[in-house]
């Protein structure tokens, strides 16, 4: 099957539909699947919030979120490419948590979760509900999985970090669900060793790849959007160059 990809010393990035491209990845070759697939929450969005005397609050949902994502459709391929010692971490919306559990819990020894608490969530200006300050990350593995337990304090199933801001936030193309490097690095540290391979079939602007390369891991990523792919490539290439300079 012909696919478009760019390869570096420690990364391989595919442009195209991950449902097809994943079939090119060899069996039992991935140590960690760390990904942020569509949440399918666009149907709940009411659009930007207009306020008198100030800029509207951005509440737009990207068009790709309208593409239906069902965890069950990914079960067979995730199991095929994951090493026996591998782990799966996937960000998900509350509307999808049950679907992940229904599909993956019968097939793996452990199905659990962790929470990313955003320390700077979007304000609830109308004060009629909770602030959306938490995101669920499903965590899946079998007995004998790789696990780098650090300290009792650090190994809570809860991590606090701000949403992407400042120089970390990619301005163009804007990606509404860009995840902070700090959260991704924490997951990669506890679930892989240096030289291991991290895979993200929904690469976006490449944050998982940046985190993996910075920590001395290899990375395989897939992205269907050309603009996101180009940005991911530039960010990951820069991370690899910086990593090489640190080693020297």
User: pLDDT for 5-34, tens place per residue?
Assistant: 999 999 999 999 999 999 999 999 999 999
Q: What rounded mean pLDDT belongs to the chain?
A: 91
Phi-psi region of 9 (alpha: psi -120 to 50; beta: other; left: phi over 0): alpha
Grade residue 75 by pLDDT with cuts at 50, 70 and 90.
very high
Question: Model-level pTM?
Answer: 0.90
Residue with the two structure tokens 């291991």 = 196
CATH 3.40.50.150 assigned to 25-232 = yes
Percent of the chain with pLDDT over 90: 79
Q: How is 38-80 classified by DSSP, letter by letter?
A: ----GGG----B--TTSPPB-----GGGGS---GGGGHHHHHH
Grade residue 83 by pLDDT with cuts at 50, 70 and 90.
very high
Residue with the larger pLDDT of the pair 57 and 102 = 102
Give the domain ranges of the chain.
Answer: 25-232
């Amino acid at each position: 099957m012909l696919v478009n990809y760019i390869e570096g010393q420690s990364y391989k990035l595919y442009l195209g539909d991950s449902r097809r491209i994943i079939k090119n990845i060899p069996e039992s070759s991935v140590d960690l699947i760390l990904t942020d697939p569509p949440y399918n929450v666009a149907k709940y969005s009411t659009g930007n919030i207009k306020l008198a005397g100030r800029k509207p609050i951005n509440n737009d949902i990207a068009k790709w979120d309208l593409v239906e994502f069902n965890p069950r459709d990914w079960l067979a391929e995730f199991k095929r490419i994951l090493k026996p010692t591998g782990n799966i971490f996937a960000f998900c919306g509350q509307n999808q948590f049950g679907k992940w559990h229904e599909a993956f819990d019968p097939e793996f020894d452990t199905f659990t979760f962790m929470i990313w608490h955003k320390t700077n969530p979007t304000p609830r200006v109308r004060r009629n509900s909770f602030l959306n300050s938490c995101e669920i990350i499903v965590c899946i593995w079998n007995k004998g999985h790789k696990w780098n337990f650090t300290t009792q304090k650090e190994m809570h199933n809860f991590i606090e970090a701000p949403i992407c801001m400042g120089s970390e936030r990619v301005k163009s193309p804007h990606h509404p669900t860009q995840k902070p490097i700090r959260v991704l690095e924490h997951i990669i540290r506890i679930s892989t060793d240096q030289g291991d391979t991290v895979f993200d079939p929904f690469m976006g602007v490449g944050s998982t790849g940046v985190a993996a390369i910075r920590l001395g891991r290899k990375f395989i990523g897939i992205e269907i959007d050309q603009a996101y792919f180009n940005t991911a490539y530039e960010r990951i290439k820069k991370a690899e160059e910086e990593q090489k300079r640190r080693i020297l």
